[in-house]
């Protein structure tokens, strides 16, 4: 029985595409010119992804403005004065803030899936943003005539539609990005914010059947942007027990960059539900050094001491460039790391006698 291995999502975008996003936004490129840049970046990304031997690929999130804001990019009822997310190196990202209702997605993830399927020969995984992240769009002072309760109902409906559309369109599986989980503990050590996030995400997951939830996974990491993180200083053991309350079929857990992997693995072993797939990060996208297949193999063998073989999978810790303007990692480095993940996982399978 082979060990499944999957990417998380984003691949660094070509410099021409990053520049093209800016020029298109400034009116310096036509729609046709911009679309041609997008199509070429997508084709090249999928071709190189498949060349790594990865049994499951993504579109590299080439045409998403970011993993978090793709559904709301272009909405007119937003202002750029929302929650600020500080990173350890001093830079920050800021979410927009909603000014009026109703709340609707401008773009659904199935559109990215459809574009990728035109080029791909491999199963495609589709990442979506967790509703808990988008719940931060609602301003603390409220909105006249549009209650938070009404907003959350709209948000849950849109998030359900986002996931369901991808499943119906033939995604191999759907990954809900929940990078705000660890950050929530940093912002609120009482964990009431984290619990509210878990409850909201579960309210959406509960709208799917058991068979559908088996194809829905949760990704957690301490954030990754411009070679920095927003919550790596938060003890993982504080998050994981609550994380496993999420009623999903798989979990994608950043691990390669953790200073004490065995301690994290012990916590996972203690709290992970029976029957779910546990994909563990064996590649650190922030570290510029490319892991060897042997290094990956050793990380998989270490994980196999704690996780049953029929539950174990491998992944990257997180995406390589979740924000569209992040050029901190070279495309060549990302694909070399992915190939090391694939090859190292196969070596571990052989050593464990699973092939």
pLDDT at 169: 97
The topology (CATH level 3) of 5-352 is TIM Barrel (3.20.20)
pLDDT at 34: 92
pTM given for the model: 0.95
Q: Which residues pair with 251 in a beta bridge?
A: 218, 278
H, E, C per residue of the chain:
CCCCEECCCCCCCCHHHHHHHHHHHCCCCCHHHHHHHHHHHHHHHHHHHHHCCCCCECCCCCCCCECCCCCCCCCCCEECCCCEEECCCCCEEECCEECCCCCCCCCCCHHHHHHHHCCCCCCEEEEEECHHHHHHHCCCCCECCECHHHHHHHHHHHHHHHHHHHHHCCCCEEEEECCHHHHHHHHCCCCHHHHHHHHHHHHHHCCCCHHHHCCEEEEECCCCECCECCCCCCCHHHHHHHHCCCCCCEEEECCCCCCCHHHHHHHHHHHCCCCCEEEEEEECCCCCCCCCHHHHHHHHHHHHCCCCCCCEEEEECCCCCCECCCCCCCHHHHHHHHHHHHHHHHHHHHHHCCC
pLDDT at 203: 98
For every one of its 355 residues, what pLDDT tens digit does the chain have, with 9 covering 90 and above?
Answer: 699 999 999 999 999 999 998 898 889 999 999 999 999 999 999 999 999 999 999 999 999 988 889 999 999 999 998 888 888 888 889 899 999 999 999 999 999 999 999 999 999 999 999 999 999 999 999 999 999 999 999 999 999 999 999 999 999 999 999 999 999 999 999 999 999 999 999 999 999 999 999 999 999 998 888 778 888 899 999 999 999 999 999 999 999 999 999 999 999 999 999 999 999 999 999 999 999 999 999 999 999 999 999 999 999 999 998 887 777 789 999 999 999 999 999 999 999 999 8
Tokens of 134: 């988008």
pLDDT at 226: 79
pLDDT at 327: 79
pLDDT at 16: 93
Domain boundary assignment for the chain = 5-352
Contact of 132 with 178, CB cutoff 8 Å: yes
pLDDT at 1: 65
């Amino acid at each position: 029985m082979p060990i499944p291995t999957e990417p998380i999502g984003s691949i660094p975008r070509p410099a021409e595409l990053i520049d093209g996003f800016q020029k298109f936004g400034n009116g310096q490129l036509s729609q046709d010119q911009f679309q041609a840049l997008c199509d070429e970046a997508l084709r090249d990304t999928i071709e190189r992804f498949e060349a790594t031997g990865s049994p499951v690929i993504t579109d590299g999130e080439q045409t998403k403005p970011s993993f978090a804001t793709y559904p709301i990019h272009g909405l007119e009822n937003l202002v750029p004065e929302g929650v600020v997310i500080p990173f350890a190196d001093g830079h920050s990202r800021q979410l927009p803030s909603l000014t009026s209702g109703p709340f609707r997605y401008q773009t659904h993830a199935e559109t990215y899936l459809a574009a990728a399927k035109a080029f791909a020969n491999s199963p495609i995984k589709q990442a979506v943003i967790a509703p808990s992240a988008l719940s931060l769009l609602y301003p603390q002072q409220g909105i006249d005539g549009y209650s938070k309760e009404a907003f959350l109902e709209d948000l849950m409906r849109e998030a359900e539609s986002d996931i369901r559309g991808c499943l119906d369109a033939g995604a191999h599986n759907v990954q809900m990005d929940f990078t705000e989980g660890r950050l929530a503990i940093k912002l609120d050590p009482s964990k009431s914010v984290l619990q509210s996030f878990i409850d909201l995400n579960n309210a959406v997951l509960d709208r799917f059947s058991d068979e559908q939830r088996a194809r829905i996974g949760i990704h957690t990491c301490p954030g990754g942007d411009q070679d920095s993180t927003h919550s790596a200083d938060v003890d993982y053991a504080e998050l994981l027990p609550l994380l496993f309350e999420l009623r999903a079929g798989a979990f994608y857990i950043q691990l390669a960059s953790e200073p004490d992997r065995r301690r994290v693995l012990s916590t996972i072993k203690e709290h992970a539900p029976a029957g779910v797939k546990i994909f563990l990060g064996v590649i650190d996208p922030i570290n510029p050094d490319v892991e060897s297949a042997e290094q990956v193999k050793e990380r998989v063998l270490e994980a196999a001491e704690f996780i049953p073989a029929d539950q174990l999978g491998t992944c990257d810790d997180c995406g390589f460039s979740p924000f569209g303007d992040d050029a901190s990692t070279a495309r060549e480095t990302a694909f070399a790391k992915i190939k090391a993940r694939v090859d190292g996982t196969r070596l571990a399978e052989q050593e464990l006698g699973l092939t």
